[in-house]
Amino acid sequence: MSTTFWLEYNQQQRNFTLDAQMTQVRIGRGASNEVAIGEDRGISKCHARIFASGGKVWVEDTGSRNGTFVNEKQVGFRHPLEDGDTIRLGNTRLVFRRHVTEDPQETFPLPGMTCIISIKDFKDQWKTRDAAAQAAAGPAAPPRPATARAEAAPAAPAASPMVDTLAAEVKRFGVLQEIASSLLDQRDLSRLFHDCLQLIVSVVPARRGCLMMIEGGELQVKSYWTGGRVADTPAAADIIQFSRTVQRLVIEKKSAVLTTNVESDPQLEEARSIIVQGIKSIMCVPLWNGEKTYGLIYLDSPSIEKDFNKDNLQLLTAIANLVTMKIENYLYIQELLLKKAMEKELEYAADVQKFLIPDRFPQVSDLDGAVFYRSCLQLGGDYYHVFVLPDGRYLFIIADVMGKGMGAALLTASLHAYLNSLCEQELDLSELLGDLNRRIHTQCDGQIFVTLFALALDAASGRAWYCNAGHNEAIRVREDGSSDLLAEGGPILGILPEGVFQVTEVELGDGDLLLLYTDGLTEAGNEADEFFGRDRVVKFLVQERDNTPDEICQRLIQTVEKFQGVKPQRDDLTGILIRFLPGKKCS
């Protein structure tokens, strides 16, 4: 003898036949159950079973964590079922029927509980449902409800709910098509957000709706629907008191949320902000791309809406996926535009920096020389220049500003302006550097520093005065091949408001070479993590001292590059090479 019954749950109706082949219908989260409800975490893997015995149909709890309830009364062990009984497992209700209803959409009790489904699980469910539908559909047979056995439900009346369901699906598909078209046409996100809300409420009759984006760690309303109109922000009376419970589930847990009876929902019992507004039904989904959450779409209604169901929650999730793709595309384009604008600014700043750093040694009687400058970035922090002092001496400056890029370039420009102004005054070298130190400290509040080497040279006599402010020592190579370092001076510029800058006098001999450089030269590294070092620089200058300054500089750069091998340049490479040649005339 067989027993046939129907179960209505999660907006579907399934019929089962208990006989010698199928003695029970198992219910739980596990996929092996005849009724598998994987999305409800309140249901145990093997929660309950339905079976026939003594002419009755029974439900039996099979050792679940949270218990089994019939008409909201907990089942001690087993309980007989009557037509219309409601079985509750976790947050899911199943209605037991001995006779099939004509329209399950009309007779289903709305959940009255929150349906919380992770977006990842939703996508998995879509794939499973599509595969099951293809497997169940015969070549000539129309679609029918899934059953535990291949037994069809009684024939539907002429006014078949299948027609209504098909019409709803067509409408939902049309909405997705319109939104997909908007993605191609819209260049403005706010316009897209408005259009999306209007299309959504054409399917789901919400009283209010909004699209919110996360900005500065907070949710901000970008589009709002109420009373048949869309606005950028809600009026004061319509501001949504957004439940932190729902917000946490959607933003933090990446879950789609559906509830149709907030007041009786144990999962939202602390959501007073919703209840005081008289809200009964809520749908909310994240704008999430699998890695980053951009915001959410929210709908609510003061009544229990049958259109707030899992099918429309799925539609809302699909729309959210499309909107998220558009947001990502829009932000990517904005990033490209910003990058392009910054590149133009960098190009302009680099052009300005070129005017501050001369590309050749000045034409000066009694002196020969060369310069080199290779920045590791588009904008560098190295600086050099040659100024003419009021008494006719030449002031050679080489400096290294802390950092790279735009910040260092801006300070370099300030440094040049300060020096240009100070060199017009009749100051000795110590006073000039003291004043320069104060200006840099005031501008940067001691947070940025500059190392600098200054050399004031009387070209006619070969007498020179220098001060090393925390910079690399200058290297002097005499005509006979001997060498020494010019190291004395004072502190790094900019750290302290005041400093003592000691000036030392030296006298250059006929043919002497003097190299002023930055640490990018000595700290150039190779694959073995060795530095080129000052000793190699001195040795090179001694070996090459009979060549012209231009030739020496060119070969020095080549030697450093050969030493580095494939290892990239990590710092600016800058230097000024001076040779004292009494009697040399300007060409």
In CATH terms, are 169-332 and 354-580 the same topology? no
Q: How confident is the model at residue 276 (pLDDT cuts 50, 70, 90)?
A: low
Q: How far apart are CA 517 and CA 479, in angstroms?
A: 20
Handedness of CA 173, 175, 181, 187 (dihedral sign): negative
585 class by beta-carbon count within 10 Å (0-12 exposed, 13-18 middle, 19+ buried): exposed
> Which residues lie closer than 8 Å to 520 by C-beta, 6 or more apart?
376, 382, 569, 570, 571, 572, 573, 574
Question: Which residue carries 């919703």 as its tokens?
Answer: 274
Candidates 3.30.1360.10, 3.30.420.40, 3.60.40.10, 3.40.50.2000; CATH matching 354-580: 3.60.40.10
- Domain limits of the chain? 3-98, 169-332, 354-580
Average pLDDT over residues 240-267: 73
Q: Which fold has domain 3-98?
A: Tumour Suppressor Smad4 (2.60.200)
Average pLDDT over residues 213-221: 88
Angle at 516 between CA 371 and CA 468, to 5 degrees: 145
pLDDT value at position 117? 64
pLDDT value at position 576? 97
Residue 166: pLDDT above 60?
no
Bridging pattern class, strands 489-490 and 463-469: parallel
Joined together, the tokens standing for residue 190 give 């706010």
> Which residues lie closer than 8 Å to 377 by C-beta, 6 or more apart?
404, 405
Q: How far apart are CA 447 and CA 440, in angstroms?
A: 10
What are 404-460's pLDDT values in tens digits? 666 777 788 889 999 999 999 999 999 999 999 999 999 888 788 899 999 999 999
pLDDT value at position 127? 53
- The DSSP annotation for 477-507 comes to E-TTS-EEEE--EEPPBTSSS------EEEE
Q: How far apart are CA 118 and CA 48, in angstroms?
A: 24
Q: How confident is the model at residue 154 (pLDDT cuts 50, 70, 90)?
A: very low
Average pLDDT over residues 34-52: 89
Q: Which fold has domain 169-332?
A: Beta-Lactamase (3.30.450)
Q: How far apart are CA 287 and CA 212, in angstroms?
A: 9
560 class by beta-carbon count within 10 Å (0-12 exposed, 13-18 middle, 19+ buried): buried
Could you tell me what percent of the chain has a pLDDT over 90? 37
Residue 242: pLDDT above 80?
no
Residue 227: pLDDT above 70?
no
Bridging pattern class, strands 367-374 and 573-580: antiparallel
| CB distance 101 to 8 below 8 Å | yes
Q: How confident is the model at residue 182 (pLDDT cuts 50, 70, 90)?
A: low
Q: How far apart are CA 199 and CA 484, in angstroms?
A: 81
| Helix or strand holding residue 372 (H, E) | strand 367-374
pLDDT value at position 235? 55
Range with the lowest mean pLDDT among 168-182, 198-212, 219-233, 521-535?
168-182
Average pLDDT over residues 561-570: 87
Residue 103: pLDDT above 80?
no
Q: How far apart are CA 326 and CA 522, in angstroms?
A: 51
| Phi and psi torsions of 157, nearest 5° | -70, 175
Instruction: Kindly give the residue spans of alpha helices, DSSP state H, lying in 423-458.
Output: 429-444
Range with the lowest mean pLDDT among 115-119, 301-305, 393-397, 496-500?
115-119
Average pLDDT over residues 122-141: 51
| CB distance 413 to 429 below 8 Å | no
- The DSSP annotation for 503-554 comes to -EEEEPPTT-EEEEE-HHHHT-B-TTS-B-HHHHHHHHHHHHTTS-HHHHHH
pLDDT value at position 198? 83
pLDDT value at position 147? 34
Query: Cα separations (Å) of 249 from 41, 159, 285?
Result: 14, 39, 9
Q: Report the mean per-residue pLDDT for the chain.
A: 80
Could you tell me what percent of the chain has a pLDDT over 70? 74
Over its C-alpha atoms, the chain yields an Rg (Å, rounded) of: 40
What are 468-519's pLDDT values in tens digits? 999 999 999 999 999 999 999 999 999 999 999 999 999 999 999 999 999 9
Average pLDDT over residues 306-317: 80
Question: Which residues on neighbouring strands pair with residue 483, listed in sequence order?
Answer: 477
> Which residues lie closer than 8 Å to 260 by C-beta, 6 or more apart?
110, 111, 112, 280, 281, 304, 305, 308
Residue 156: pLDDT above 50?
no
Average pLDDT over residues 333-337: 79
Joined together, the tokens standing for residue 374 give 């290779």
pLDDT value at position 441? 92
Question: Which residue carries 């080497």 as its tokens?
Answer: 453
Pick the more confident residue, 79 or 276: 79
Pick the more confident residue, 349 or 560: 560
> What's 30's DSSP letter?
S
Q: How confident is the model at residue 152 (pLDDT cuts 50, 70, 90)?
A: very low
pLDDT value at position 157? 43
Q: How confident is the model at residue 80 (pLDDT cuts 50, 70, 90)?
A: very high
Angle at 122 between CA 117 and CA 124, to 5 degrees: 135
Q: How far apart are CA 252 and CA 487, in angstroms?
A: 60
Average pLDDT over residues 370-397: 87
| Phi and psi torsions of 319, nearest 5° | -65, -45
Residue 467: pLDDT above 90?
yes
Average pLDDT over residues 547-554: 96
pLDDT value at position 225? 84
Residue 551: pLDDT above 90?
yes
236 class by beta-carbon count within 10 Å (0-12 exposed, 13-18 middle, 19+ buried): exposed
> Which residues lie closer than 8 Å to 366 by C-beta, 6 or more apart?
459, 460, 462, 580, 581, 582, 583, 584
Question: Which residues on neighbouring strands pair with residue 490, listed in sequence order?
Answer: 469
Most confident of 7-21, 316-330, 460-474, 520-534: 460-474
Residue 70: pLDDT above 90?
yes
- Candidates 478, 469, 460; CA nearest to 504 is 469
- The DSSP annotation for 106-168 comes to HHSPP--S-EEEEHHHHHHHHHHHHHHHHHH--SSSPP----SSS-PPPPP-SS-HHHHHHHH
Pick the more confident residue, 352 or 246: 246
Instruction: Kindly give the residue spans of alpha helices, DSSP state H, lying in 202-262.
Output: 244-247
| Helix or strand holding residue 333 (H, E) | helix 310-356
Q: How far apart are CA 33 and CA 296, in angstroms?
A: 34
pLDDT value at position 261? 67
Q: How confident is the model at residue 353 (pLDDT cuts 50, 70, 90)?
A: low
Q: How confident is the model at residue 172 (pLDDT cuts 50, 70, 90)?
A: low
136 class by beta-carbon count within 10 Å (0-12 exposed, 13-18 middle, 19+ buried): middle
